[in-house]
């Protein structure tokens, strides 16, 4: 199972990013764990200065805006 964390303070872009990941997983029939991280110290601990950020299995794979749909699908399906 893949583990995703969406890093951000809860802004609309962070919500859209989390929804996109959940939707892509549901479409692909892939089980994931999805967590929203709003604690700024934890976010900065990942080195993310611009949100939303996405962490996949402990590694930052995206930061600074809503990821493209094809990116999200690749994270979920690869």
Residue 36 predicted with pLDDT over 90:
yes
> Check: CATH 3.40.30.10 for 2-77?
yes
Across the chain, mean pLDDT equals: 96
Find the mean pLDDT for residues 23-51: 96
List the domain boundaries for the chain: 2-77
Closest CA to 26 of 72, 62, 71: 72
Residue 10 predicted with pLDDT over 90:
no
**What Rg value do the Cα atoms of the chain yield, rounded?**
11
pTM: predicted TM-score of the whole model, two decimal places? 0.95
Gap between the Cα atoms of 16 and 74, Å rounded? 17
């Amino acid at each position: 199972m893949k583990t995703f964390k969406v890093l951000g303070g809860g802004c609309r872009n962070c919500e859209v990013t989390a929804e996109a990941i959940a939707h892509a997983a549901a479409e692909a029939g892939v089980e994931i764990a999805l967590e929203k991280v709003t604690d700024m110290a934890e976010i900065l601990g990942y080195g993310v200065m611009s949100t939303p950020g996405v962490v996949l299995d402990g590694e930052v794979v995206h930061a600074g805006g809503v990821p493209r749909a094809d990116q999200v699908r690749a994270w979920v399906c690869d």
